[in-house]
C-alpha cells in the first residue's frame, strides 16, 4: 500500500560548511537505506535530486543492477525497495513527476536541523497526511542542509528532530527513519 507521501533527498541546492551553495555527491548507502526505509513505510517515490548527469547515470546503473541485473534475483527485497527510486535533475522535476502520476497538488515539506518560525509539529503533519486528496513531498538536504530558497518554496516546514544537548547533526538516513516513524508509524 502506498501512502500519499514521497521523499526527496536534495544534493542541490544545499550548503557546505562555509554556507556556500554546492552540489554534493550521493552515497551508495543513501540510495539503499533510504529506499528501504521509504518502502517500509509505504512511500510511493524516493527522488534523488542532483543536477549532475554523471551522478544520475551512476544512480540509475546501481538501481538497474538491483532491479533487472544479477541483484534482482539475488535479493528481491532490495529490488522492491529500489523500484521507488527516481534520479532527477531538480526539485521541479520531482514535483512534475508527482503531479503527472497523481494529478493532485503537492505539499512541499522542508526539513532541517535548525528551528524555524512557523514550523509545524510532527503531530500536526501526521494529521495532515490523513487527507488523501493531497500529495506530500518531504525534502531532506545533504551537506549542511537545504538552501534558503528551498524553504521559501516550501508550503510546510517541519519542526527539527531534537535530541539531548546542543549537538544536533543526525545522519540523513537516521533522520528520515525517525521522521517516517513519527509521521506514519503504527501507534497502539
Report whether pLDDT(21) > 80.
yes
Tell me what pLDDT residue 129 has.
95
What is the structure's pLDDT at 1? Answer: 45
Bigger pLDDT: 2 vs 99: 99
* Domain ranges (residues) in the chain: 5-184
Segment 84-100, tens digit of pLDDT: 999 999 999 999 999 99
Q: Which of 68-72, 115-119, 144-148, 184-188 has the least mean pLDDT?
A: 68-72
Q: How confident is the model at residue 2 (pLDDT cuts 50, 70, 90)?
A: low
Look at residue 108 and tell me whether its pLDDT is greater than 60: yes
User: pLDDT at position 46, please?
Assistant: 98
Question: Per mean pLDDT, which range of 23-27, 35-39, 100-104 is the poorest?
Answer: 100-104
> In the predicted model, what is the mean pLDDT of residues 20-46?
95
Tell me the DSSP string of the chain: ---SEEEEEE-SSEE-TTS-EE-PPP-HHHHHHHHHHHHHTT-S-EEEE-S-HHHHHHHHHHHHHHHTSHHHHH-HHHHHHHTTEEEESSHHHHHHHHHHHH-S-EEEEE--SS--TTPBPHHHHHHHTT-TTSEEEEEEE-TT-B-HHHHHH-SEEBPPP--SSS-----HHHHHHHHHHHHH----
Per residue in 115-157, pLDDT tens? 999 999 999 999 999 988 899 999 999 999 999 999 999 999 9
Select the CATH number that applies to the domain covering 5-184 from these four: 3.30.470.10, 3.40.50.10800, 3.40.1280.10, 1.25.40.10. Answer: 3.40.1280.10
Amino acid at each position: 500500500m502506498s501512502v500519499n507521501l514521497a521523499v526527496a533527498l536534495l544534493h542541490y541546492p544545499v550548503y557546505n560548511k562555509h554556507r556556500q551553495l554546492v552540489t554534493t555527491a550521493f552515497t551508495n548507502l543513501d540510495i539503499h537505506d533510504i529506499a528501504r526505509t521509504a518502502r517500509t513505510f509505504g512511500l510511493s517515490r524516493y527522488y534523488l535530486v542532483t543536477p549532475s548527469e554523471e551522478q544520475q547515470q551512476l544512480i540509475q546503473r546501481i538501481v538497474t543492477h538491483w532491479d533487472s541485473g544479477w541483484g534482482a534475483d539475488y535479493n528481491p527485497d532490495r529490488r522492491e525497495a529500489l523500484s521507488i527510486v527516481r534520479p532527477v535533475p531538480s526539485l521541479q522535476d520531482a514535483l512534475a513527476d508527482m503531479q503527472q502520476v497523481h494529478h493532485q497538488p503537492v505539499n512541499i515539506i522542508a526539513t532541517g536541523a535548525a528551528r524555524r518560525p512557523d514550523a509545524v509539529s510532527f503531530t500536526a503533519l501526521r494529521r495532515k497526511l490523513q487527507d488523501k486528496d493531497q500529495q506530500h513531498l518531504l525534502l531532506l538536504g545533504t551537506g549542511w542542509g537545504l538552501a534558503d530558497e528551498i524553504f521559501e518554496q516550501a508550503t510546510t516546514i517541519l519542526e527539527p528532530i531534537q535530541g539531548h544537548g546542543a549537538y544536533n547533526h543526525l545522519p540523513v538516513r537516521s533522520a528520515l527513519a525517525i521522521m517516517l516513524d513519527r509521521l506514519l508509524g503504527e501507534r497502539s
